[in-house]
Structure 1
């Protein structure tokens, strides 16, 4: 199942309607309804857009279309952050490491996201954690991206 399919299931379980139609933006959310631009090609890109719009459902209030207002900018960032953490939680970097994923292209494909979405998620993680984070016995370094597994040294 694709990211897009999984998110559609989540929407259905939460009584959020999703429609695909031609529009001038990638996506839009309002009052438990998400619209996705029908012209978006590629299932990974559709999944990324749906994740962000679902992020608006969980994090945004009111009309935030005017991005010249600071509160609207903050809500947009919060929705995108929600999407990055939903779609690419830290454990996914560890899974990719264990699956010997070795390039950004392979990682994006493994995660079912676009490379742009992956880059934006990495930037957000750097803002949140700095250049690296310790997570479940691993160190995830965000720039350049790398995962290190630590082990406990014991004298035998």
Structure 2
């Protein structure tokens, strides 16, 4: 689990971003990024896994967003929110790691979320993101990650039969 948290904090530090905890009045917003400060809502973020997910998304905003995007009624702001979340999904739930988890014996969504150090909700959102991006599956080396139902298929290596 800490395999993600420490590198994310190190990245924030390298980028000159200060990460602070603050108890927002609302538990609806879990984090905010503005002017090189990531504020994590201490009243809404309870677990280390959730902290990892929020920190990654807010770093995603640093890398992909600009301006005030709080008004999600504006389609431009929703697109920026999606880009930031996509950055976080690719960072914390890379397809190669899903394939690696399968190879190491991970067989359920719950186990996969624990293996990745993310919440099950974040994992499901990442899978939905990948379905929107790739369709029902994506090729990762000699493996195919299938998103619905979630699983990994090993491809047969035909090269060993070529003489």
TM-score, normalised by the number of residues in structure 2 = 0.92
- 1:84 is aligned, of 85, 89, 92, to 89
Count of residues in correspondence between the two structures: 156
The Cα of 1:5 is off from its aligned counterpart by: 2.3
**Which consecutive aligned stretches of 4+ in structure 1 deviate over 3 angstroms post-superposition?**
none
Q: Which residue of 2 aligns with 1:34?
A: 38
Cα distance between partner residues in 2 of 1:4 and 1:21: 18
8 A contact 2:99–2:140 mirrored in 1:
no
Cα distance between partner residues in 1 of 2:76 and 2:66: 10
Alignment of structure 1 residues 1-156 onto 2, 5 Å: 1-23=2-24, 24=26, 25-39=29-43, 40-153=45-158, 154=161
Cα distance between partner residues in 1 of 2:74 and 2:22: 28
Deviation string, structure 1 residues 15-46 (Cα, Å, up to 9, x no partner): 11100110132000011110001121110001
Greater displacement, 110-119 / 17-26: 17-26
Greater displacement, 62-71 / 4-13: 4-13
The Cα of 1:134 is off from its aligned counterpart by: 1.2
RMSD: 1.2
In structure 2, runs of 5+ residues without a counterpart are none
The Cα of 1:104 is off from its aligned counterpart by: 0.7
